[in-house]
Amino acid sequence: MAAIENLQLNAQGKLQHFLSIEGLDQSLLTEILDTAESFAEVSKQSVKKIPLLRGKTIVNLFFENSTRTRATFELAATRLSADILSMNIATSATSKGESLLDTIRNMEAMQVDMFVVRHSLSGAPHFIAQHVADHISVINAGDGQHEHPTQAMLDMFTIRQVKQQFAGLRVAIVGDILHSRVARSQIHALNILGAEEVRVIAPKTLLPTDVESLGVSVFNDLDNGLKNVDVIIMLRLQKERMNSALLPSESEYFKCFGLSDERLKIANSDAIVMHPGPINRGVEISSSVADGPQSVILQQVSNGIAVRMAVMSMAMRNNEGGE
């Protein structure tokens, strides 16, 4: 693991690639959040563009579909004045048999400065980071069931925006933990940033076997798990990743683990409700909760742009001045 942890940082200990939350320390995560706060202001201005990354070329390499993540990475790059090219590899060269490394070498030959990678295989962005030229940064936009670090950071940003600090917070992550790279990144981030307690609430079939080792308390009952909670993060039921019969039915799932108005009352009265999207209304969350006053789901989306601007500009800067 040591090699993977070090891979993210340059010789000065600054961010060079952003591949996983695991292995980063509190000061770096806080720097990302602080930087994102500055960038959040840019999106509120009438001219939503700053020249920070002018002349840089960023390539979105999406080997797996995405709407929100890809769109916010594109907007983040555009607002930093970088040029961005989004490649939907699922429908391009690799389907003609080109290897991952060949795809990367070809993009490198086009003089790009950064890859934003989404891949269905855990570790693909690490692999790419190990093989790219020194001046290229790699950002993980979600790899398999491993991590989705920018999503976790925008969630942390949203939590800090509302709750100001992490100390003393009880956070519940509810649902399909087994398939969720978002949950893994969130658990690491919350623990690094010093949350009081991180709970995972899910049926046993949707929990990884070693989940306690990540530093969480495990609940198999939603009503118990929501008691005294300040932040509720609902996860999407990842139907496309379920190859075996893990659940009886969607309606059964909502009955046991769906967040309804009644259930929300169990948590602290000022608890916020989050969801990384896309939402399955009526499966993991009711419409009235998703659109209700305690929901910060759309705030998460706005914050995604600022956080991605922060990570992109930090990694790009450190790659230039690094050596």
Partner 1 sequence: MSIEYIEIPVLLNQLETSLSETIEKRKIQDPLLIGIHSGGVWIAEKMHQWLDIKEPLALLDISFYRDDFSQIGINPKVKQSTLPLSVEGRDIILIDDVFYTGRTIRAALNEIFDYGRPNQIILGVLIERDGRQIPLRPDCVGAEVNLAAGQRIKLTGPEPLDIVIQSMTEEA
134 sits near partner 1 (criterion: CB under 8 A): no
Binding-site member from 4, 50, 247, 256 for partner 1 (CB under 8 A): 50
Closest Cα to residue 314, out of 115, 36, 112? 36
Site size for partner 1 (CB under 8 A)? 21
Which of 15, 81, 97 lies closest to 49, judged by CA?
A: 81
Task: Work out whether 38 is an interface residue with partner 1 (CB under 8 A).
Answer: yes
**Residues whose CB falls within 8 Å of the CB of residue 72, separated by 6 or more in sequence, listed in order:** 301, 304, 305, 308
Query: Which of 10, 33, 11, 7 lies closest to 152 in space, CA to CA?
Result: 33
**Closer CB to partner 1, residue 18 or residue 254?**
18
Nearer Cβ to partner 1 (27/92): 27
CA dist 81 to 150, 273, 309, Å? 20, 33, 11
* The one segment of 44-52, 236-244, 249-257, 289-297 that binds partner 1 by CB under 8 A: 44-52
Task: Examine residue 210 and tell whether it contacts partner 1 (CB under 8 A).
Answer: no
For residues 114 and 56, the answer to whether their CB atoms sit within 8 Å is: yes
* Residue closer to partner 1 (CB basis): 293 or 321: 321
Cβ proximity to partner 1: between 41 and 210 the closer is 41
Inter-residue contact 323 to 88 (CB < 8 Å): no
Q: Nearer to partner 1 by C-beta: 183 or 316?
A: 316
321 binds partner 1 (CB under 8 A): yes
82 and 161 in contact (C-beta within 8 Å)? no
Using DSSP bridges, classify how beta strands 197-201 and 217-219 pair: parallel, antiparallel or unpaired: parallel
Q: Of residues 2, 47, 109, 110, which one binds partner 1 by CB under 8 A? A: 47
For partner 1, which residue of 3, 41, 91, 249 counts as binding (CB under 8 A)? 41
Under rule CB under 8 A, residue 75 binds partner 1: no
Does position 49 interact with partner 1 (CB under 8 A)? The reply is yes
Residues 5, 25, 212, 320: which binds partner 1 (CB under 8 A)? 320
- Binding residues (CB under 8 A) for partner 1: these are 31, 34-35, 37-38, 41-42, 44-47, 49-52, 313-314, 317-318, 320-321
